[in-house]
Amino acid sequence: MIFKEIIKPINFLLQKQAENLKTKLAFSDKNEDISYEQLNIETSNLAKNFKNLDIKSGDAIAIILPNSVNWIVSCFSILRLGCVVVPISFESTFAEIEYKLLDSSSKLVITSKKFKKQLDNFIIQKNLSTKVIYIEENENSLNNLQRLRKKNNNNFQLIDDEIDHPGYILYTSGTTGQPKGVVLTSRSMLWIVASCCMPIIGLNKNDNVLSPLPLFHSYALNLCVLGILASGATEYLLEKFSPKMIFDQVKKFKYTLLPGVPTMFHYLLTTAKNEKLQLNDINRCVSAGAIMPSQLNKDFEKFFKIELLDGYGITETSTFVTMNWPGENRTMGSCGLALPGLSVRIINPQNNIDVKSNEEGELICRGPNVMLGYHNKIEETKKVLKDGWYYTGDLAKQDENGFLTITGRLKEIIIRGGQNISPTEVEEAILKNEEILD
């Protein structure tokens, strides 16, 4: 099942949820809450006030903030104006920030005064016209974010944002050189919400999500930003992950869904065993962002009596390609089945011919979730997008039932005695040793 009815412009979704859900809580953090009704009003206000800063449709706007309601409101406001969201980690070095601002040609930066001195110098040295909004600005300042969120500007009407135009530039980790800017659309992102987050993970308006995921990452942006809006769920944003924060929150409030990455679930399990803690009302967890060791998956589910669904994806595919469906038919250690509406193949990278079941090859995929390309990198794009297929560079196997298992990276294969050895196989063998924690 694919929830195609939610694949709509962000303007439409915000207005619809405001009408339907009104004062229902949408997002909250340690400082503030915002309802669906207020989210619609404030994102409209902010988008229109961006216009007063000479921001035009199609311009790139960078967000360099910790997880917060400010982050959420900024993101939706950028999309409502038809601009491009450039999320940058708040923990980045300034060299990383500088590269991404220049590469994306960001016209506006929404950030903290933590970076003020460096940004001021950078803008002067590069002779840029980039404008900056600091969240700590005096409330009387023209560029105070809270003020711009509240200030009604009726000078013009917002037009429906085009969901097939570039909406996001998300930067990869840069493990093979400088980070590449992955260009995605709202359609590609919402397709994942419609084909995975809602029908498989089961995200719905009754959910209360506790999220420690960094919002600049595609996984969080999809599930914990767009997914919350589209489903009408409620979410509490942790500024960062810590087992203590998670266990403290579940004691205070009733949460139903906890997304994370394998290392987070490892530390939660270790802490819970040592301190005899539980996740209380949480009834399902989701993991992505790295390969989930099968032993960790089994141990987590056995201890907490909660399903931990594991998925696979990358930024270039708007997060997910596969996901394990809830239930007993999962293959532990596998990252699940291809999402509805997507096509996957496992090929021999030497000749592009499909390999047999349970044979290792390169995973390639095709579907509406695939990126438009790499920003300003035509040749890099041509290397990975061929005839509609995205070549992931990941090695995988697929069994007779369609379950996929990621076995490594093409560039990470260990050759010993003429034999190809996957680092993932080595890691799985090590983790089976109970004397090794991590």
Structure tokens at 199: 């029908």
Same domain, 41 and 108: yes
Same domain, 43 and 147: yes
Domain end (from 139, 166, 185): 185
For 14-24, what is each residue's pLDDT tens digit?
999 999 999 99
Domain end (from 137, 170, 185): 185
For 1-16, what is each residue's pLDDT tens digit?
899 999 999 999 999 9
pLDDT at 147: 86
* 210: nearest Cα among 257, 157, 163, 151: 257
Same domain, 256 and 362: yes
pLDDT at 65: 97
pTM (2 d.p.):
0.91
372 located within any domain: yes
Structure tokens at 245: 């924060």
83 located within any domain: yes
88 located within any domain: yes
- For CA atoms 159, 49, 14, 72, the dihedral sign is positive
User: If 0-12 CB within 10 Å is exposed, 13-18 middle and 19+ buried, where does residue 386 land?
Assistant: exposed
209 located within any domain: no
153 located within any domain: yes
Same domain, 266 and 173: no
CATH number at residue 370: 3.40.50.12780
* 321: nearest Cα among 220, 176, 191: 191
Q: How many domains does the chain contain in total?
A: 2
Domain end (from 185, 204, 228): 185
β-bridge mates for residue 133, sequence order: 110
CA dist 315 and 160 (Å) reads: 25
Contacts of 403 (CB under 8 A, 6+ apart): 331, 334, 336, 337
196 located within any domain: no
Same domain, 158 and 282: no
β-bridge mates for residue 343, sequence order: 366
Structural domain boundaries enclosing 27:
8-185
- For CA atoms 17, 20, 23, 29, the dihedral sign is negative
Same domain, 36 and 110: yes
Same domain, 180 and 284: no
Same domain, 400 and 293: yes
CATH number at residue 126: 3.40.50.980
Same domain, 291 and 382: yes
pLDDT at 351: 93
Same domain, 249 and 175: no
CA distances from 257 to 72, 203, 228, 250, 315 (A): 19, 8, 12, 11, 22
Same domain, 143 and 280: no
β-bridge mates for residue 259, sequence order: 286
- Low-confidence stretches of the chain (pLDDT beneath 70): 138-142, 155-156, 159-161, 174-177, 411-438
385 located within any domain: yes
Q: Under DSSP, is residue 78 helix (H, G, I), strand (E, B) or coil?
A: helix
pLDDT at 332: 85
Which residue has tokens 């400010």?
70
Same domain, 55 and 162: yes
227 located within any domain: no
DSSP codes of every residue in 248-308: HHHHHS---EEEE-HHHHHHHHHHHHHHT---TT--EEEE-SS---HHHHHHHHHHH--EE
pLDDT at 51: 86
